């Protein structure tokens, strides 16, 4: 008898459909993430290359100043309120986009710009887009931006020695703007340590009625004539030997889109007494300087907001040894001679 052999068939293992689905989802997630990362970097690089290739040097200038600062959302962060001013000299624009390089550590989610519809950050480049109501900019106009920026660490905004390097590569509609400090016109993008050079002579200074010596004042004959204008009027006088003359001085700023301080010098008749405490006052000034017949009055930086086209009115009380034919002439405003009207 032959024994019949039987083969036992092994059962094939069937992979659970749940496992297949789980593996598929994992692969899909990684594929999607890798594609998104690659495409975002690619788009950013393309945008950066397109932007860089289309940038030209513009005629306009920009300037910024620190208005205020306070503690941020964390112990190591600081919130800065900044004012950016643009003196626009290029072709008329119906809208605008601003790009600029900023310091490290920006906390973008806590930042604001009231004049922009959006604010985005890519690397160290901050981008601002105009609102529908403020996009139109005409040649010869000026406008300002108020930014509230939070930074981690120390971005170097306070007491910046080279402000043009703190917020740099300022690009307006693909036009690169130069940094121009209206309070020191000799500051450039290359060197912020230049100062205005002029022939000076020693004089006397009074602060709150106290007199010191050795203050330098600008020689009016060495300055260029600007576009600002001024007029003055004597309002009253009193006393006899000495005599106090009260007057009003009106100055229209036509030389800059913005001043945050003033240094104003002008000539008066002989006999001015700068040391006359209580009867030598310029209410908006911090110091009054005498050099020969030239008076120079100064305010501290950040104490005034003198926009382009705006009139600054000064009220003066000046004391003289005796009666004079009072007048004000050769007026110089922040390094430029003004025109009397």
- Banded pLDDT at 207 (limits 50, 70, 90): very low
pLDDT at 265 over 80: yes
pLDDT of residue 279: 53
- Quickly name the fold that domain 56-179 has: Immunoglobulin-like (2.60.40)
Is the entire prediction scored with pTM above 0.85?
A: no
pLDDT surpassing 70 at residue 52: no
State the pLDDT at residue 196. 29
The answer to whether 65 and 166 are in contact (CB under 8 A) is no
Burial group, residue 257, by CB count within 10 angstroms (0-12, 13-18, 19+): buried
- CA torsion 330→332→335→339, rounded to 10°? -80
Average pLDDT, stretch 156-167?
81
pLDDT digits (tens, 9 = 90+) for 63-85: 888 888 888 899 889 999 999 99
The bridge status of strand 116-122 relative to strand 125-130 is antiparallel
Span 139-150, average pLDDT? 91
- Listed in sequence order, the residues at least 6 apart from 227 whose beta carbon sits closer than 8 Å to its beta carbon are 254, 255, 339
Which of 1-5, 74-78, 178-182, 194-198 has the weakest average pLDDT? 194-198
The mean pLDDT value for 306-316 works out to 87
Q: What's the token pair of residue 79?
A: 């919130």
Better-scored residue on pLDDT, 293 or 139: 139
Rounded to 5 degrees, φ, ψ at 93 are: -130, 140
The two three-digit tokens of residue 84, written as one number: 């950016």
Q: Does the structure show a pLDDT above 70 at 274? A: no
200-340 CATH, one of 1.10.10.10, 3.30.9.10, 2.60.40.290, 3.40.50.1970? 2.60.40.290
Residue 16 confidence (pLDDT) above 50: yes
Is the preceding omega at residue 242 within 30 degrees of 0, hence cis?
A: yes
Query: What pLDDT is attached to residue 203?
Result: 40
Check pLDDT > 50 for residue 17.
yes
User: Over the stretch 83-116, which tens digit does the pLDDT of each residue have?
Assistant: 999 999 999 999 999 999 999 999 999 999 999 9
Domain extents in the chain: 56-179, 200-340
**pLDDT over threshold 90, residue 129:** yes
Are 102 and 64 contacting, i.e. CB atoms less than 8 angstroms apart?
no
Q: Which residue shows structure tokens 């060197």? A: 191
> Residue 324 pLDDT > 80, yes or no?
yes
Domains 56-179 and 200-340 fall in the same CATH topology: yes
270 vs 111: which has the higher pLDDT: 111
Tell me which range, 17-21, 75-79, 181-185, is most confidently predicted by mean pLDDT: 75-79
Q: What is the mean pLDDT of the chain?
A: 78
- Return the residue matching tokens 């900023």: 102
């Amino acid at each position: 008898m032959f024994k019949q052999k039987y083969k036992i068939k092994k059962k094939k293992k069937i992979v659970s459909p749940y496992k297949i689905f789980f593996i598929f989802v994992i692969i899909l997630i990684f594929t999607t993430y890798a594609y998104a990362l690659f495409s975002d970097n690619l788009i950013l690089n393309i945008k950066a290359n397109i932007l860089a290739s289309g940038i030209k040097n513009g005629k306009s200038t920009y300037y910024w100043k620190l208005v205020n600062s306070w503690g941020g959302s964390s112990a190591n962060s600081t919130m800065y309120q900044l004012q950016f001013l643009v003196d626009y000299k290029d072709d008329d624009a119906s809208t605008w986009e601003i790009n600029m390089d900023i310091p490290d550590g920006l906390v973008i989610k806590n930042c604001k710009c009231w004049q922009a519809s959006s604010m985005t950050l890519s690397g160290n480049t901050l981008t601002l887009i105009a609102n529908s109501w403020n996009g139109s900019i005409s040649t010869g106009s000026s406008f300002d931006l108020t930014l509230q920026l939070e930074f981690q660490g120390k971005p170097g905004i306070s007491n910046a020695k080279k402000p043009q390097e703190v917020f740099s590569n300022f690009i307006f509609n693909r036009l690169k703007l130069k940094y121009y400090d209206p309070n020191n016109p000799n500051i450039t993008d290359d060197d912020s340590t230049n100062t205005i050079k002029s022939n000076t002579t020693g004089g006397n200074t009074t602060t709150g009625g106290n007199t010191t010596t050795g203050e330098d004042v600008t020689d009016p004959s060495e300055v260029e004539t600007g576009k600002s204008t001024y007029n003055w009027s004597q309002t009253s006088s009193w006393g006899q030997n000495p005599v106090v003359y009260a007057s009003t001085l009106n100055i229209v700023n036509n030389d800059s889109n913005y001043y945050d301080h003033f240094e104003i010098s002008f000539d008066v008749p002989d006999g001015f007494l700068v040391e006359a405490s209580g009867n030598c006052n310029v209410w908006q000034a911090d110091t009054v300087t005498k050099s020969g017949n030239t008076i120079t009055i100064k305010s501290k930086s950040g104490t005034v907001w003198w926009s382009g086209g705006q009139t600054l009115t000064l009220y003066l009380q000046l004391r003289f040894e005796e009666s004079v034919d009072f007048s004000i002439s050769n007026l110089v405003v922040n390094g430029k001679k003004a025109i009397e009207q």
